[in-house]
Chain A
Amino acid sequence: MLCIRSLEHVFNVGTASETQVLRRIDLDLDDGEFVTVVGSNGAGKSTLFNAIAGAITPTAGSIALDGNEIAGWPEHKRSHLIGRVFQDPSHGTAPSLTIAENVALAMSRGRRSRFRRAIGSAKRKQIEELLEPIGLGLEQRLDQRVSLLSGGQRQAMTLAMAAVVRPRLLLLDEHTAALDPETARRVLKLTNTVVHDHGLSTLMITHNMNQAIEFGTRTVMLHKGRILLDLSSQRRSDLTADDLVEQFSSAGAADLLAGEFELFDTTHPTKASQE
């Protein structure tokens, strides 16, 4: 359903600080697949997500979702098909709006807004029913501002908001990295429930190798803008976190050895063609 071909992205094109972050990424996702994405800092994970979600326009390549070429769509139009949860809990909710108002905004994602009342009694009931299963008691605090909530509560809420109108693709950008271990575990558990209940096609970035193997059905490792490893479920099952870390460090060591090689790498020129 998601089909990425030769995706390239270069920051600061034509300047001294020009850096290529994505190099000829090819990635296919089947319906209902839950893929974990790992990679060191600067590997291009977040840039890949930004390119899919439309926060940046990639330099070259194509992104197709359900056969629609979405690479040229504005971010808000892609959001009709894509749900997203960010690493920073403050990015996913509007702090000075109430809990009910935030959820109401999520419930009308992809629908035309009108001049009718945003939150009537029927909508209120729907919002309560949506928040109740999360188990944080948010359904009793509908009229409180979101700024009063903790990071974990906000991430749980953002997750519920991303899934309330079933997205074709869910992007989770290290959404538990800013939380304490216990809260992170609970949000991850909720993530698993949400993804399985709705059968969502999901990409999840994580820095935790155990999580990368424990969650999802497939693992992709990015390194320096390329896909280094693509492990399907069978190959993943006899892999431990240590193996993954080893893959990681061997890639890093290879880089150190091939430091000069990178400069003369002609197969993937750093100056992306401007088509």
Chain B
Amino acid sequence: MSTDVAVTGSRSQSAPVLSRVLPGASTAGALTALWFSAGGTSSTGVWVGAAALGLCLALVAVGVYITFRVLNFPDLTIDGTYPLGAAVSAVLVVDGFPAWSTLPVAFVAGGCFGAVTALLATKLRLHSLLASILVATALFSINLRIQGKANIPLLSETTIFTPMTDEARRATIWAFGDGAARHSNNLLTIVVVGLLVVAVKLVFDAFNRSEVGLNLRGTGDNPQMMRTLGRSTDQYVVLGVAISNALVAAAGAIVAQFQGFADVNMGFGLIIAGLASVILGDVVFRPRRVSTGTLSAIAGMILYRMAIAAALVIRIPVPGGDSFRLEAGDIKLTTAVLVLGMLWFSAARKKS
């Protein structure tokens, strides 16, 4: 806190965060472009894929930020609403609905189950963790019913990305040369989902500045005061948790279309990824407001996916012997170590 207090004197608090983010982001962008032009390396695809997946998961980071940081309502429902969004979207796409139209449906479905968790917690006075685990557990069965089977492949279906694949390929070759053609699908995802995330972020920021958004932030910050000022805090907890899970379900739908399948197990441990990105964003960018906080969480999610990719690609040298490489099964341990490291780092920084 001491470092925060020292610099909060300025009228606008967004400037310091932007000034930290922008130079870094533009440098990284320029270097990536150069790297592409040079043909990249054998692992280029891994990095681009990680960035694309990170952007697809950006709305998960925003959702987790809302419950954990804004509302102070630790919520694990997202482990169930994320595959719910994927399931709803996949079933509708297979039925022939336009891929874009499935995103709002997933959004609403996720919001409903988020509201259920919040109602259990506020009306029955259950602890938020217990209420959300109950709903997430129930959702596993519900998702299986919706899908009818554990896995729905979407590779032969028309997704939100399909109509633009040819143009994306041509544009990639034009911009980066023939060697980059194999990255065109990931680059298309980065552009399409990037635009979507920017749009959601702008709407969310406007919401935060509104009277309703201010009530939501006040509810997380000091619920007693909000009741003293005539607000029903229960109502705003329901609204906030619903928005959070709606965003996560939309992310589930996007990821299903990006990866080409929906699987009932895809939400397992998602909350850790969401928390990791929020903490990573906090440590790297040190945001002080909700608008910069959500931006940091989005950046944190992309960094998190990159870190996971790095852990899989990089060979770890063993003294006097062979080097060894982490496998997919080691990811959870890597994540746990990463999150612990970040928490330790931010605790140490607060003390100094």
Contacts and interface: CB of A to CB of B under 8 A. Distances in A.
Nearest to A83: B228
A75 interface: yes
B75 to A, nearest CB: 19
A108 interface: yes
B346 to A, nearest CB: 17
A79 B228 contact: yes
A114 interface: yes
Interface in A82-109: 83-84, 86, 90-97, 101, 104-106, 108-109
A76 B211 contact: no
A80 B230 contact: yes
Given A113-B212, A114-B212, A143 B11 contact: yes
Of the candidates B5, B12, B217, B227, the one having the most CB atoms from chain A within 10 angstroms of its own CB is B227
B210 A76 contact: no
Given A109-B229, A145-B8, A115 B221 contact: no
Nearest to A85: B228
Contacts of B227: 55, 75-76, 79
A235 interface: no
A253 interface: no
B211 A114 contact: yes
A105 B210 contact: no
A161 B229 CA distance: 9
SS class, residues of chain B in contact with chain A: helix
A106 B215 CA distance: 11
Contacts of A92: 225, 228
B233 interface: yes
B217 to A, nearest CB: 6
B336 to A, nearest CB: 29
Interface in A214-241: none
Interface in A10-68: 53, 55
Contacts of B222: 90-91, 93-95
A211 interface: no
B8 A105 contact: no
Contacts of B12: 143
Contact of B230 (A109, A114, A118): A109
A79 B229 contact: yes
B212 A97 contact: no
Interface in B182-239: 207, 209-215, 217-218, 221-222, 224-233
A192 to B, nearest CB: 22
A110 interface: yes
B210 A116 contact: yes
A183 interface: no
Contacts of A97: 214, 217-218, 221
A76 B232 contact: yes
A144 interface: yes
A92 B222 CA distance: 8
Contact of A105 (B207, B218, B232): B218
B171 to A, nearest CB: 38
Given A114-B211, A115-B211, A116-B211, A105 B226 contact: yes
Nearest to B208: A118
Interface in B2-49: 5, 8-9, 11-13
A106 B226 CA distance: 9
Contacts of B228: 53, 75, 79, 83-84, 92, 162
A137 to B, nearest CB: 14
Of the candidates A80, A90, A118, the one having the most CB atoms from chain B within 10 angstroms of its own CB is A118
Given A105-B231, A114-B210, 4 more contacts: A53-B228, A96-B221, A145-B8, A162-B228
20 contacts: A74-B232, A76-B233, A86-B224, A92-B228, A94-B217, A94-B221, A95-B222, A96-B217, A96-B221, A97-B221, A101-B217, A101-B218, A104-B214, A113-B211, A113-B214, A115-B210, A116-B211, A118-B210, A143-B12, A145-B8
Interface of B: 5, 8-9, 11-13, 207, 209-215, 217-218, 221-222, 224-233, 288
The 10 closest A-B pairs by CB, nearest first: A94-B221, A79-B230, A113-B211, A94-B222, A118-B214, A109-B230, A75-B227, A118-B211, A76-B227, A76-B232
